[in-house]
Structure 1
Amino acid sequence: MELNAKTLNNYLNFIYQNIKPDEVKNLCDRIRTLFSQNLNKEPTKELWNEKDFFLITYADSVIQKEKNNLKSLSEFLKKYCKEFSFVHLLPFYPFSSDDGFAVTDYKKVSKENGEWVDFKRLSSKFKIMTDLVINHCSSENQLYKNFLTAKEPGSNFFISSERDFNNFSLVVRPRSSDLSKKVEILGKKKYVWCTFSHDQIDFNFKNPEVLFFFLEIIKFYLDKGAKALRLDAVAFLWKEQGTKCINLPQTHTIIRLIRHIVESYSKNCLIITETNIPNHENLSYFGNNNEAHCIYNFSLAPLLIHAIVSANNSYLKQWSRSMPPAQFGNAYLNFLSTHDGIGMRPLEGILPKNELNKFIKVLKKSGAFLTHRISQNKKTVYEVNVTLIDAFKETYSGKDNLVLKRFILAHQILFSMEGIPAIYIQNLVGSKNDLKKLEITKSFRSVNRKNWNFDELSKLLKKQSINSKVYLSLISLVKLRKKQPAFHPNATQFTLQLEKNIFGIWRQSIDRSQSIFCISNLSKKKKKISLLDINLISTEKWHDIISKKRITEIQGNITLLPYQSMWITNKKF
């Protein structure tokens, strides 16, 4: 499909209202020339189904001395992660800080990670999602060095001012560092904009050349075999004085432009926005089915963890009922934790302040570290840094020996929810807080970014270890879920009205042939519930998929053991 000139012009005219029409037309022509030949012509029948899972990993999450990181990771994935269709390969480019998110060269693979041939080899086995670190780059990037010396390309690629940005008092950002960084450009004192850190300099998207630069990068990644693009920190893209400098209309229009271009060039590539913000703002990145294909379901992770450690479904249930079903062509990306911490901002407007403080206090007892942000001169917790299995060490009623049961329950609920599930590699192998790495890096996020030795991890996964129990349990659940049409990412979901210690949803396949009632005990006590509350159809036979047991008395009671989940279905596969 050739790029539509009228659509492109409309988007560009909205984004760049202060440049001449001739310049817009010229930019439009350059974009159409850049993407003049389609990468593939035939789209797949569907972009996703119940068989799809994402695995989130760094290139160096599993390493071997004699091999580059991508070769080591590829070997591990082929051996232990065959059930995953997508692999989110976190930034593998040369970088100066933030574990890859301060990119020094967008078109290179870092020496330790390997070469593009290793990436292409991996992309032949899995659908790879790559990060487009679009909001900022490293202070060591050549573009920024050119900016400091007024050379091209790069002389107007970054936001700068002769005054600091303290007058931008409304700015919302996820860090507590100063927004302004003092620099010298050709002997003159200036300030540059740093949303995240002083090593991460924000691009100036008011310069059309910045947009064109990233469109070239997008084409480069697609040509290398990427099947999904994660737009990192995209909510902060456009800045205007007198605004919060987040979620601005120009940002949404740039995403629509990227979606339009990518869909015309590569029919099977997904656009996923990384917008760790309150839920109602996050939902806006679906647009009208013309922005992101998928958005991260950021509220689910902390709400689900909270529901289990508090044995209280109230907030999870209320949120679940309020969530609109994604349109066909859109899907939620569901996860419990990632390479970053467990975000607290998505709980804004959902958890009352006193309940949020109580939750954070319990997580701290479990060994979590707190990362703060400053917004409008107020310091608040932005994220909690802890491995997922450690997050379940404490509950509102204290410690016990049921940590693994809580951890598995969380995944049983996660896998049952509307959307595509994603598992972080550290969760898959049951990693605990890496305090040694924290000691070296002094970064709280390091506790959940362990670099496993391939042989050491392989041995642990083959013997009776907590890591083996976690891995085998999760892979078994993954296989089970993939067989159920009712777990299609766009299948119907309805939240059940059950007592506060029980969380339940009903899923129905798109063709309405399969129903699954997912009933979970959030507490450490046995719970008896009446099947009349679930309303099973009496003319059908019902089974629990997880325990493989038949439900014989559909008007009787069932007993749920502590932290037990049942997937009760009318159709076995």
Structure 2
Amino acid sequence: MRILTEKSIYRIRERLGELYGEDNAPRLAQRFSVLADRYARALRARYQPDKPLWDEQDVLLITYGDMVHTAGEPPLLTLRRFLAQRLKDCVRIVHILPFFPYSSDEGFSVIDYRQVDPALGTWHDIQTIGQDFDLMFDLVLNHASSQSEWFRHFSNGIAPYRDYFIVVEPDTDLGSVVRPRTSPLLTPTQTPSGERHVWTTFSADQVDLNFHSDDVLFEFLDILLLYIQNGARIIRLDAIAYLWKEIGTSCINLPQTHEVVKLLRDVLDVLAPDVLLLTETNLPHEQNISYFGQGDEARMVYQFSLPPLLLHALYAGTTRYLSAWAAALADPPPGCCFLNFTASHDGIGVRPLEGLVPENEVERMVHGVRQRGGHVSSYTAADGREVPYELNITWYAALSDPDHPDSDEHIARFLCSQAVMLALKGIPAVYFHSLTACPNDEAGVKRSGHPRSINRKRWNAGELNALLDNPNTPTARVFAEYGRLLRLRARHPAFHPDGPQRVLELPDGVFAIERVSPDGSERILCLSNLTAVEQAIEAAGLDGEPADVGWHDLITGESIAADADGGFRLRPYQTLWLTTPVAL
């Protein structure tokens, strides 16, 4: 494992100087050395130098700590048992969404960053899950709870906390600020010096932290290392794009924010080089991938454009925009990769479609989500307009036929969407409710008053296991086939995150890519019919192969040969994973 060398300290000192001024850099570099020494032994003990960054067996599960629960048992224990019994052979990484004491936003308004919510369990329970799976933790560093001790000390004027939060005069011109909410940007609060107005990007309960204070930065460096000490392999930087504020700017994607990400990456490269940094930036594609930097920022970036592009393709029956986007994707820098997903605990972002799909077609997609019981959240654009920001609906419900839910076609359409995601270059991330074919939880929305609750149902373990044990339920059918696809994918190095990807030109409605293993030993053609009609594929035109070539479909295990017309057919919503052809 690396140690603090003069070179590494110099690089971190340079970053600190960029953020806080050269005069403060020596003092802050020394402060970092003291912090690093405190965690050195624990970090050295957990380091696995021979472990690759990632491979084709990596699949990430997104779940809340209490996604499954049993009366009288800490939910983290119930979750561990469910994971061990049902998913150990097809999932390698578990993202346990914020498991800290919180006051709102289902965990993303953190009261105490260093404790596990007693309602969920203990640090030992987290570490026990980590014995069987790699773990991903959230670093919620843009804001903290108004009920936190930090904010209480701020309100009482106690140092250093009196500088932990951003205070702005209420008559300040903040018209340039871009944010994903329409609630008031400033929230009044009482302090010893009278009423002050604090910055609240997301809600009055989520008070933005002041990274102009180096004390705030070092608070989070300590928390970061604590999380790694407790088993985190991936650190997700929540809402990172909004971190740094400068009056008169958009306060999104500022250079100082990128500098903080680079600093965090430097810290990991020095102290925990096997720990991966993931940025959560639900923004237009070019802004999103900017967090790779020059290979010196995030190791991983969400593929935020994928879910809405895929949903649009399935609604409209055209792969025009999805294929064009995929064909234009640049490879991530070396040592970086995409995190592919279709659903998460949040909704389906709309902003990542900007510049990719015409606005009128986006509007039709939004209408389709509403037809299926979904909600639409808005944000305030720079010009003051309120425009769609997020579609709140479960992915399974989003792909339903409103008149015939849970039909064979509905399940086929859903599984087709997942097969597309699994085939793309990168690491796949699967939301718990996608595995369980979860319908919209409208009762949850009514209880909480928040549209995102539609996609955050908590399962009673007995109820869920009963559904999974009945092979005729949609839950069991989806879970079984999804698990089979995950296990199949893990056996093929062509799906390695670093393996090349190429988009093939096939009839509109068919999304087709070629995947090749990093060493060139395996090649797979992945074809998905995203329409409700049969699609004819010319075998002679399939990537230039002659018609008298036989293919093997990994998904069905069957051979695929050209018919009398010199081609073959894809059923509605069918996916084929075809291995390298051999002469008949």
- Give the TM-score range, shorter chain: over 0.9
Determine whether 1:321 maps to 2:327. Answer: yes
Shift of 1:254: 1.0
Which residue pairs with 2:388 in the alignment? 381
469 and 166 in structure 1: CA distance in 2 versus 1, 3 angstrom threshold: farther
After superposition, where does 1:128-207 map in structure 2 within 5 Å? 128-161=135-168, 163-164=169-170, 166-207=172-213
Determine whether 1:295 maps to 2:306. Answer: no
- Residues of 2 paired with 1:358 and 1:112: CA distance? 42
Conserved? CA contact 1:131–1:230, under 8 Å: yes
Determine whether 1:216 maps to 2:222. Answer: yes
Q: Which runs of 5+ in 1 are unaligned?
A: none
- Residues of 2 paired with 1:169 and 1:237: CA distance? 18
Which residue pairs with 1:542 in the alignment? 551
Determine whether 1:118 maps to 2:118. Answer: no
Letter of the 2:13 counterpart: N
- Residues of 1 paired with 2:538 and 2:549: CA distance? 18
Shift of 1:498: 1.6
- Residues of 1 paired with 2:121 and 2:330: CA distance? 42
Shift of 1:551: 2.6
- The superposition leaves residues 456-504 of structure 1 with CA deviations (integer Å, 9 ceiling, x where unpaired) of 1001001020100110010011011111111111111111112211111
Question: SS at the partner of 2:543?
Answer: coil
- Residues of 2 paired with 1:322 and 1:526: CA distance? 27
Which residue pairs with 1:488 in the alignment? 496
Conserved? CA contact 2:94–2:135, under 8 Å: yes
Which residue pairs with 1:76 in the alignment? 82
Question: SS at the partner of 2:464?
Answer: helix
- Residues of 1 paired with 2:53 and 2:272: CA distance? 12
Determine whether 1:127 maps to 2:134. Answer: yes
Which residue pairs with 2:18 in the alignment? 14
Which residue pairs with 2:286 in the alignment? 280
- Residues of 1 paired with 2:573 and 2:321: CA distance? 18
- Residues of 2 paired with 1:147 and 1:122: CA distance? 36
Which residue pairs with 2:530 in the alignment? 522
Determine whether 1:569 maps to 2:579. Answer: yes
Question: SS at the partner of 2:180?
Answer: coil
- Residues of 2 paired with 1:275 and 1:227: CA distance? 20
Letter of the 1:380 counterpart: V
Letter of the 1:333 counterpart: L
Shift of 1:153: 4.1
After superposition, where does 1:154-553 map in structure 2 within 5 Å? 154-161=161-168, 163-164=169-170, 166-376=172-382, 377-394=384-401, 402-463=409-470, 464-535=472-543, 537=545, 542-553=551-562
Shift of 1:19: 5.3
- The superposition leaves residues 177-198 of structure 1 with CA deviations (integer Å, 9 ceiling, x where unpaired) of 0100011211412110011000
| Identical counterparts, % of pairs | 36
Question: SS at the partner of 2:232?
Answer: coil
543-552 or 444-453, larger mean C-alpha shift: 543-552
571 and 478 in structure 1: CA distance in 2 versus 1, 3 angstrom threshold: farther
Conserved? CA contact 1:363–1:394, under 8 Å: no
Conserved? CA contact 1:132–1:231, under 8 Å: yes
Question: SS at the partner of 2:101?
Answer: coil
Shift of 1:265: 1.8
- Residues of 2 paired with 1:356 and 1:269: CA distance? 37
Question: SS at the partner of 1:177?
Answer: coil
- Residues of 1 paired with 2:454 and 2:73: CA distance? 25
- Residues of 2 paired with 1:60 and 1:165: CA distance? 43
After superposition, where does 1:33-44 map in structure 2 within 5 Å? 33-37=37-41, 38-39=43-44, 40-44=46-50
- Residues of 2 paired with 1:499 and 1:455: CA distance? 46
- Residues of 1 paired with 2:488 and 2:24: CA distance? 57
Letter of the 1:337 counterpart: A
- Residues of 2 paired with 1:352 and 1:32: CA distance? 50
CA RMSD of aligned residues (A): 2.1
Which residue pairs with 1:99 in the alignment? 106
Question: SS at the partner of 1:301?
Answer: helix
- The superposition leaves residues 479-531 of structure 1 with CA deviations (integer Å, 9 ceiling, x where unpaired) of 11111111111111111112211111111111112111111111111111102
- Residues of 2 paired with 1:41 and 1:442: CA distance? 44
56 and 221 in structure 1: CA distance in 2 versus 1, 3 angstrom threshold: same
Conserved? CA contact 1:165–1:179, under 8 Å: no
Question: SS at the partner of 1:43?
Answer: coil
Determine whether 1:88 maps to 2:95. Answer: yes
120-129 or 398-407, larger mean C-alpha shift: 398-407
Shift of 1:394: 4.3
- Residues of 1 paired with 2:406 and 2:453: CA distance? 25
Letter of the 1:290 counterpart: D
Shift of 1:532: 2.1
**How many residue pairs align between the two structures?**
571
326 and 165 in structure 1: CA distance in 2 versus 1, 3 angstrom threshold: farther
18 and 154 in structure 1: CA distance in 2 versus 1, 3 angstrom threshold: farther
Letter of the 1:408 counterpart: L
Q: TM-score, normalised by structure 1?
A: 0.96
- The superposition leaves residues 425-457 of structure 1 with CA deviations (integer Å, 9 ceiling, x where unpaired) of 011011100111111111111111011000110
481 and 513 in structure 1: CA distance in 2 versus 1, 3 angstrom threshold: same
151 and 403 in structure 1: CA distance in 2 versus 1, 3 angstrom threshold: same
Question: SS at the partner of 2:339?
Answer: strand
Shift of 1:533: 2.2
Question: SS at the partner of 1:255?
Answer: helix
- The superposition leaves residues 266-305 of structure 1 with CA deviations (integer Å, 9 ceiling, x where unpaired) of 2321111111111000111111111111100000011011
The correspondence for 1:109, drawn from 116, 119, 123, is 116
138-147 or 544-553, larger mean C-alpha shift: 544-553
Conserved? CA contact 1:412–1:565, under 8 Å: yes
- Residues of 1 paired with 2:295 and 2:131: CA distance? 29
170 and 19 in structure 1: CA distance in 2 versus 1, 3 angstrom threshold: farther
Letter of the 2:554 counterpart: I
Shift of 1:306: 1.1
435-444 or 137-146, larger mean C-alpha shift: 435-444
Question: SS at the partner of 1:402?
Answer: helix
Question: SS at the partner of 1:329?
Answer: coil
- The superposition leaves residues 231-259 of structure 1 with CA deviations (integer Å, 9 ceiling, x where unpaired) of 10111110112211111111111111111
